[in-house]
Amino acid sequence: MDTQNPIFLTNSKTRKKERFVPIDPKNVRLYLCGPTVYDRAHLGNARPVLVFDVLQRLLRHVYGADHVTYVRNFTDVDDKINATAMARKEAGAQGTLEELVHERSSETIDWYHQDMDALGAARPDHEPRATEYIDQMVTMIADLIAKGHAYEAKGHVLFRVRSYKDYGQLSGRSVDDMIAGARVEVAPFKEDPMDFVLWKPSTDDLPGWPSPWGRGRPGWHIECSAMADDLLWKKPLKQGRLSDAALARPHEFDIHGGGNDLTFPHHENEIAQSCCAHSDNANEVGFANVWLHNEMLQVEGKKMSKSLGNFFTVRDLLDQGIPGEVIRFVMLSTHYRKPMDWTEKKAQHANSTLDSFVSQTVNMEPAKDIPVEFLEALADDLNTSKAITVLYSLAKAKRFDELLASLLFLGFDFSTLDGGWVGNNTSRALEELVFELEKLRAEAMETKDFSQVDRLKTALIDAGVEVRMSKAGVELVSGPNFDAAKLEGL
């Protein structure tokens, strides 16, 4: 597929859709900025997870399951986590503040896993916690100071933004424009308003770690730089898993991404500090080769916010009885580079569609090969919307084994669904209606009165069910316009 149907991705850094060419086809490496684990994941948090889940599935298909390394981190150094830990300590909880922070983070990470698992998202190869990589962050900060890209001031260490000549390339703005339009933290010890924190001091009532600059904790941006470099460069280097092509591009990897709200300042700062930490006077080193950013999420046409009363978590929807597969289907129905609008109508449509697909593929073996048109859609900048259109075409053409193979590829594994899934209930309901229709037809053959048969057939067709009657028996197949609610009462 890579030669005949190459993968194209929109690179945020170049603002172009480009052919994806991995640094090393036998070791494709990608990094997604993960959640800050202080509470349940809201619906918007799920979008980059699903985008990268589809991406890593496609990459593993093209380059081999063992030739892709996918990292998604957990940020467990945060003031909101600290506040929860301090409240627990004041309430009498045993343990140090660091231990209570770890306890709270572990609890939230477990919630996150449960919710993302319910959406069918495969877990990454590595899920590092920031607190496990403090030593690597301290080493990177020390390198930046030694090279003149960072400085210590009143227990803080700050990055000199103007020391990196390409700062602003990702977001497309100059430093002066950023100062004029951005909310920057004003501090008397900063050399420049745009300089950002790499390390900050911790008081006795806050979690902290030892460093050359005193007890403290890292800034947000340095965390991802250190974890990405350790897991996507240093670790495979020690294991001897890097090709000559990869060794020629030290500290670089293939794809980095997240929501477009991270473009500035988080990703911009990651690029600056990483390139400066690993470059020297003779050689300049890059960072991520491709930057992938998804658009934001709306609810019923409005920005999701607590003030509007339309803010909810993934768990809220799951607890309402909305299957994770429905949430996944709605999310993937919109291209990742377009705003995604969650609506009740879309959820209902997704429910009916998946219900139809389940009934069409029940007890069927998936096709050995994934349909070419389906793969081509995904290879065209992860066009999941177009891929879903292909699913409808496969169903209409009765290519049900290929439909099932495509659904499985896209992360819809119906075999793992628990009893709450409407598709299972509907499949059983259709089976019962098959028996009912066969019974009515047998009676009609005796009485010559087919009015009851016609009545049930009309009701089924109205519900979007295709009725197939032959000498061999009756077969009911839910079609593209299937409405499970209309089966009730039949």
CA distance 341 to 334: 8
User: What amino acid is encoded at 334 in this protein?
Assistant: T
- Whose structure tokens read 């500290």? 251
Q: Which residues contact 14 (CB under 8 A, 6 or more apart)?
A: none
User: Which two structure tokens, joined as six digits, stand for 153?
Assistant: 């001031």
Between 106 and 348, the higher pLDDT residue? 106
Give the residue ranges of DSSP H helices in 64-174: 79-90, 97-118, 134-146
Beta strands in 325-426, from DSSP E residues, in sequence order: 340-342
Mean pLDDT computed over 417-426: 47
CA distance 185 to 366: 55
CA 105 from chain centre, in angstroms, equals: 20
Binding-site residues, please? 33, 224, 266, 270, 306
- The C-alpha angle 21, 128, 255, rounded to 5 degrees, equals 15
Between 182 and 221, the higher pLDDT residue? 221
CA 113 from chain centre, in angstroms, equals: 12
In tens, the pLDDT along 101-149 reads: 888 899 999 999 999 999 999 999 999 999 999 999 999 999 999 999 9
In tens, the pLDDT along 273-284 reads: 999 999 987 678
pLDDT of 164 over the 60 cut: yes
- Whose structure tokens read 């009912």? 436
Quick check: 356 and 430 in contact, CB under 8 A? no
User: Domain segments of the chain: what residues?
Assistant: 8-294, 297-410, 424-487
Q: Which CATH superfamily is domain 8-294 in?
A: HUPs (3.40.50.620)
In tens, the pLDDT along 13-23 reads: 999 999 999 99
pLDDT at residue 304, as a whole number: 85
pLDDT at residue 187, as a whole number: 77
pLDDT at residue 64, as a whole number: 96
Quick check: 159 and 143 in contact, CB under 8 A? no
pLDDT band at 413 (very low <50, low <70, confident <90, very high): confident
3-state secondary structure of 364: coil
Quick check: 404 and 420 in contact, CB under 8 A? no
User: Which two structure tokens, joined as six digits, stand for 372?
Assistant: 């070419």
pLDDT band at 474 (very low <50, low <70, confident <90, very high): confident
pTM of the model: 0.85
pLDDT band at 421 (very low <50, low <70, confident <90, very high): very low
Cβ neighbour number for residue 408 with a 10 Å cutoff: 17
> DSSP code of 130?
G
- The C-alpha angle 386, 388, 394, rounded to 5 degrees, equals 110
Binding-site residues for ATP, please? 306
User: Which two structure tokens, joined as six digits, stand for 346?
Assistant: 């879309």
pLDDT band at 483 (very low <50, low <70, confident <90, very high): confident
3-state secondary structure of 469: strand
In tens, the pLDDT along 222-261 reads: 999 999 999 999 999 999 999 999 999 999 999 999 999 9
- What's the chain's length in residues? 490
pLDDT at residue 99, as a whole number: 86
pLDDT band at 90 (very low <50, low <70, confident <90, very high): confident
Binding-site residues for Zn(2+), please? 33, 224, 266, 270
146-157 burial code (b ≥16 CB/10 A, e <16): eeebbbbeeebb
- Whose structure tokens read 């000549």? 165
